[in-house]
Amino acid sequence: MSSTMKTADVVTNTQGPEVSTLSLTMFRFASWLKSPRPYLMMIGFAIVLGFWYLAVEVWKLPRFEDMPGLTEVFSEWFSKDPYYGLSIFTPEYYLHIGISLRRIAYAFLLATCLGVPLGLFLGWSKNFREFIFPLFEVLRPIPILAWVPLAIIMFAGSESPVIFLTFLASFFATTLNTMLGVESIDESYSRAASCLGASRWQVFRHVVIPGAMPYIFTGLQISIGVAWFSLVAGEMVSGQYGLGYLINTAYMMIEYPKIIIGMITLGIIGFATSAMVRMLGDYLMQWRVRELALGD
């Protein structure tokens, strides 16, 4: 019996009326642990950390002479009495994280609520696409930093401009991927549904939306990543508190270990939020989870 047949048998035995997406997700996770992928990932991290340590603290390469070393950063990060005043034991650290997460939540939710419907209609209606898409494509390439002056002028205070800048990048990524998802659906499915008596709205609801879901959640994973990128840029320019503000302030105060701490924190939280979006997609697309489980 081949490994593919064994995998199919395991998944089939776990399926039934009461089967949950969690069981399928756990099966995929167990398969991942048995594969070489997690160990290759650990080797990749070890190589990067090892090079960092050697380049700064052992070889002392010219390009790395002003960078904080691996031991200095981690000693500061996990110190109960940090020299630069920031570690996992200081309330200020979690204040910056909490404010950045709140801004991301507002911007990402707004981008999803506006970008997904807009992308669906752009892909579904040719007339609507001809009317809106040219304007969309003109605005999309404009860098987020170019919007900073207008954001400060349009929105009062320090909070709204940062959320607006974070929203913009996330909105464009979500909308474009959703539209591409609709365009990727084979027209034969819509024609078959129409031949069976489905109305235009029923085709949209039962064919177009489910068919575009993989692209939508791919877009949302990209969206949450660019949202963090835009958030940091916005916080550096006009924000108060937040991880971007922390990194920029640390640079101005020549507190270089705090810069690395902020960057690593951004990477960890960004990875976690992207994983949460992926898990939500697995929950809403159980058929795809089963397909991927069988494919493993």
What is the number of structural domains in the chain? 2
Domain boundary among 39, 67, 95: 67
In a domain, 2, yes or no: no
Task: Provide the domain limits for residue 58.
Answer: 19-67
The reply to whether 173 and 50 lie within a common domain is no
In a domain, 7, yes or no: no
In a domain, 14, yes or no: no
The reply to whether 173 and 207 lie within a common domain is yes
Round to whole Å and give the CA distance between 47 and 50. 5
Entry pTM: 0.82
In a domain, 245, yes or no: yes
Domain boundary among 6, 35, 67: 67
The reply to whether 63 and 88 lie within a common domain is no
Which amino acid would we find at residue 78?
A: F
The reply to whether 74 and 59 lie within a common domain is no
Comparing CA positions, the residue from 265, 249, 272, 273 lying closest to residue 76 is: 265
- Residue 3 tokens read as 């490994």
Q: How confident is the model at residue 137, as a pLDDT?
A: 92
Which pLDDT tens digits describe the chain residue by residue (296 residues)?
A: 444 334 444 444 444 444 455 676 677 677 777 888 888 889 999 999 999 999 999 888 888 888 899 999 999 999 999 999 999 999 999 999 999 999 999 999 999 999 999 999 999 888 898 989 999 999 999 988 899 888 888 887 778 889 999 999 899 999 999 999 998 888 887 888 888 787 888 888 888 888 888 899 989 999 999 999 889 888 887 667 899 999 999 999 999 999 999 999 999 999 999 989 988 887 777 666 555 555 55
The reply to whether 46 and 173 lie within a common domain is no
The reply to whether 51 and 163 lie within a common domain is no
The reply to whether 193 and 206 lie within a common domain is yes
Alpha helices in 88-158 (DSSP H): 91-124, 126-139, 148-154
In a domain, 8, yes or no: no
Q: How confident is the model at residue 227, as a pLDDT?
A: 92
In a domain, 259, yes or no: yes
The reply to whether 98 and 84 lie within a common domain is yes
The reply to whether 25 and 94 lie within a common domain is no
The reply to whether 49 and 122 lie within a common domain is no
Contacts of 161 (CB under 8 A, 6+ apart): 148, 151, 152, 154, 155, 234, 238
- Residue 128 tokens read as 């609507």
In a domain, 99, yes or no: yes
The reply to whether 60 and 95 lie within a common domain is no
The reply to whether 35 and 155 lie within a common domain is no
Domain CATH code at residue 260: 1.10.3720.10
In a domain, 174, yes or no: yes
